[in-house]
Every structure is written in structure tokens, then in C-alpha cells.
Amino acid sequence: MKRVYLDHAATTPVDPEVADAMARVLRETHGNPSSIYAEGRAARVLVDRAREDVAAVLGAQPTEIVFTSGGTEADNLALRGVMKARRGLGDHLVTTAIEHHAVLDTARDLESSGHVRVTIVPVDRDGRVDPAAIAAAIEPKTTLVSVMHANNEIGTIQPIVEIGAICRDKGVKLHSDAVQSVGAVDFDTSRIPVDLVSVNAHKFYGPKGVGALFVRRGTRLATMQTGGGQEKGRRTGTENVAGIVGLGVALRVAAERRATESARQAALRDRIIDGVLARVPDAILTGHRTERLPNNASFCFPGAQGESLIVALDLAGFAASSGSACTSGDTEPSHVLLALGLERHIAQGSLRLTVGRATTDADVDALLAALPPIVARLREAAVVSV
């Protein structure tokens, strides 16, 4: 039975060009980039070249790119680094109710330490934050605003340009978790007034365990760990050369393919949305209908449990998720869905379907044939059990 992978928001397969580039590094370049002899200089060239590739896609300068172990570290470094660097100048952090746990849990941890005050801004039924609500939350002691560019569960894209303009006008730094959007949609820091941006390689067909943080020139950032002073002291520790090379290649390839591939995926996404809403009674689309990631279709099915949906789809040959993969083992409803105002019993029946480069029309046809009877069967079983 052919498997159909529909969980690209959780992770993507490594692109063959990326895997080949990383394999060459592992075979041929063993030097430490901090060493000044020939082997070290060869490794440094590869890291610098990847930095240039990432910067080019983001519309940034190479010196503004800091390599990390992934999106979670990038989010932590942004929030903790800025708040620590500006301690004494401001102690207020503003974020939204639908951020990834890497942001929300970090904000709560900073708040529990007593050094930071946090304001959580709500979103509307579509998962969009009102820029005016961000403006109203900013106060004289606000140091940082953190608003994700696109949500990892419901795919909603935020009005980041408008929010950035507000932050710039008020003299407040803006961080955006763009882990889901970079590589899928255009994100040009030369046009978007944002000061810090988190990126994660395995969301755009790169390796797991490597990411980056864009830090606009002039943004003060304290390091979160001490050691050898790599990454100009902003993220110390020996660089993951093969992973960094993979990140650079993956982002370059994603940018080259974006125009055609994102449009193709958006067409598949819309086929899924239209097909599910037409075939499954009482299905609820979550997230904004049009202002959403090109590959994301997410729903709630009242009367069905998300975990049961995932298991049934898995048995039928489909890989999907119920909310975020990072919290898929939790039986509690997603905080994102609850923030939309959905009732708890409805939020428990969530399903996220995210297409990718290998997804075909035939895959969508198969899904639309398999999903309705699965939902019907689970609903019937739930009624019987009651």
C-alpha cells in the first residue's frame, strides 16, 4: 500500500541535493571552523557560504545571520537574548495567544523569574491578531514584541508588516517566528520591519537540528550560553558544519522553487479544503480561508477525537497530525484552537493536513475518498460508547 505523507508542517523529507551536499562535508571536510590552518579554513568557507545563502533569501546581510540548533533555540535566543540585553531599560514583553510553545513557554519562564512582565494578545476566530491590539499592549517599558509570521497548526498568516511598522514607530523590537513560512512564502527583511526572525531547516527540506536567527544590525542580543565565542559571541559552540551547509542549500533550493511550487501546493490545499467541507458534514475549517500557508488545510470534526483520526488515517495509509507535532502526545486540546474561541469538545477533534513537493492530485483524491467514512465511523463509535 502506498503511503501518503500529509504532515509537512511537522517535518519535511531531506531534499536529495541537500543530502548530497551534507554527505560531501561529512566525507571531505573535518576541520573545526575556528581553526586557522587549512582544514579549519576550508570548513569556515563552507559555513560562510551557507550564511551568505541564508542572508540572500532573507534580504539580509551575512553578519545578521546566527546559526542555531533549530527553531526552538532561535526563539529562545531572541526572547531571552533581547530581554537580558535590555534589562534595566525595559521589562515588558508582548506576544500572542497562538504562538508556538517555544515562544509562549519561554515568555512564561521569563515571567516566573520575576524579571519580565508578559502581555498575551488574543486573536480573532480566524487566528489573526489585530495590529491595533498590539499597539494598545505596548507601553513605555515594552522591550520586545514577538508575533509569529504563520501559525504551525492552522496556517494563518499574520499582518506582520503592519505590526512591524507599529513597533518601529514606538521604538520596540519585533521578533517573528517564521519557521513555518520561510521557504514557502516570500520573507524579505529589507522590506518587512522586523528585527529578529527564527528559521528552521527541517521545515523546508533541510536537516533536523539546525536553524538560524536573523538579528538586524543594531539589535542588542545577549548570549544564552558561554564558551568559545563562536557566531560573534551570539551563539557560542562549535558550528554544525554539515547541518549549516544543508540549511543553506535547502533554503536556496526552496527559494528557487517557491513561485511555482507554492502555487501548486496552494491548489492542492484548496482542493482538500473544498473537498472536506463538501464531503464531511459539520466539518469546521480552522484558520483564515485565504491568508494562510500555501500547504496547510486544518479542520475540526465535532464528534470525533483527533488522536483517533490520526490512528485511523495511519492505518489507511495516510500520515497526518492533530495540531502541532510537538504536542501530539497530549490529549488536551490545542491552545491555538482554544484561542480561536472553539469549545473544548470541538477542539479535541482537530486534524491538520499539510501537503508538500511530492504530494499529487491522486494523493488528494485518495484522501478525499478515505476521510469521510473514517470520520463517520468514529462519530458513530463515539455515540455508541456514550
Active site members: 326
- Cα 219 from Cα 228, distance rounded (Å): 22
Residue with the three cell numbers 519585533: 174
Residue 247's Cβ-side half-sphere holds a number of Cα atoms within 13 Å equal to 34
Residues 104-110: contacts with CB under 8 Å, at least 24 apart = 104/335, 106/75, 106/76, 106/79, 106/80, 107/79, 107/146, 110/79, 110/80, 110/83
Helix (H) or strand (E) holding 28: helix 16-28
**3-state helix/strand/coil string of 329-379:** CCCCCCHHHHHCCCCHHHHCCEEEEECCCCCCHHHHHHHHHHHHHHHHHHH
**What's the burial of 283, exposed, middle or buried (CB within 10 Å: 0-12/13-18/19+)?**
buried
